[in-house]
Amino acid sequence: MGRISCPDPVIPVAVPAAARGEVERELANLDKQVAEAEQRLRDTVGQGGPNFVQNAILGPLKSKREAALNRIETAIGRVAAKPEGLERFATCAVE
């Protein structure tokens, strides 16, 4: 069994005060998503075929992370220039 490793998102702009609360909630949500995926990884050791971890854990995690990262972009974009490309931090791997 491994550990799920995800890149820490780097927000390329200063987060405006008006968006800070929402951005912080979504960053916490990213941590929660990884913790849940790691629990699922532990709970399903030995299950499924060769692509199980990718299809059942890492794929859904990537989708959830993309959504959270898009919400961060949107929150900032409501009050300042919207950062682009945060989805590059969505893909995780098992180490």
Under DSSP, is residue 94 helix (H, G, I), strand (E, B) or coil?
Answer: strand
Mean pLDDT on 24-43: 96
Supply the pTM of this predicted model: 0.93
Any idea of the CA torsion for 55, 22, 10, 28, to the nearest 10 degrees?
Answer: -50
Q: Kindly give, in sequence order, each residue whose CB lies less than 8 Å from that of residue 45, ignoring residues fewer than 6 positions away.
A: 1
Domain boundaries of the chain, sorted by first residue: 4-94
Residue pLDDT, tens place only, 66-93: 999 999 999 999 999 999 999 999 999 9
48 phi-psi bin (left φ>0, alpha ψ -120 to 50, beta other): left
